[in-house]
Structures are given as C-alpha cells and as structure tokens.
Amino acid sequence: MARRVLLLGRLGVVVEDAMEQLRMPDVQLLVATGLDEVRSAFAQGDIDHVIMGAGLDLEARLEIVRESFSPATRRPST
C-alpha cells in the first residue's frame, strides 16, 4: 500500500513543482495550499505524512497543524 504524503505550500505552482521532483514508487503525493484543501485531503483517506513549507502565514500553519492532529481527521482503524 502506498504511503500518502500531503505537501503544503503558499503557492500551488511551487508545491506542484516539488511534487514532480519528489515522485517515488509507493508514495502518493497530494498537494494543498490552504486549510480547505487540507480538510479535503484528509476526507479522501488517511495521510501518513504532512510536509509544510515555511511560506504559509503562521496562523494558517497553526490551523493546519491543529486540523492534522484533530481527532475528527483521524479515521478509525479497521
């Protein structure tokens, strides 16, 4: 099963460029530029790792961290 990695950044084009350079077998890379896209990624399935760029506003980063660790985003194990 592929690891799911969420890449976060301020600019979609920069994050998409990083995604192209980081392609690896057994790794599914997802891209987000804000909290709504983070929520959407977690709604699609479990995320194994989140990598966040420093270009995001501090408050936005804190909200994303809260969302990433929120029990609501964690799906129960089956």
Contact status, residue 55 vs residue 10, Cβ threshold 8 Å: yes
Banded model confidence at residue 78, pLDDT cuts 50, 70, 90: very low
Looking at residue 76, its pLDDT comes to: 52
Considering only the C-alpha atoms of the chain, give the largest distance between any 2 of them, rounded to a whole number of Å.
36
**Identity at 13, one-letter amino acid code:** V
Question: Sign of the C-alpha dihedral, residues 13, 18, 19, 23?
Answer: positive
**pLDDT tens across 9-53, in order?**
876 666 677 777 777 788 888 888 889 999 999 999 999 999 888
Per-residue pLDDT of 56-76, as tens digits, reads 889 999 999 999 888 776 655
pLDDT at 8: 86
Domain layout of the chain by residue ranges: 3-53
> Which residues contact residue 9 at a Cβ distance below 8 angstroms, ignoring those fewer than 6 apart?
15, 18, 31, 33, 52, 53, 55, 56
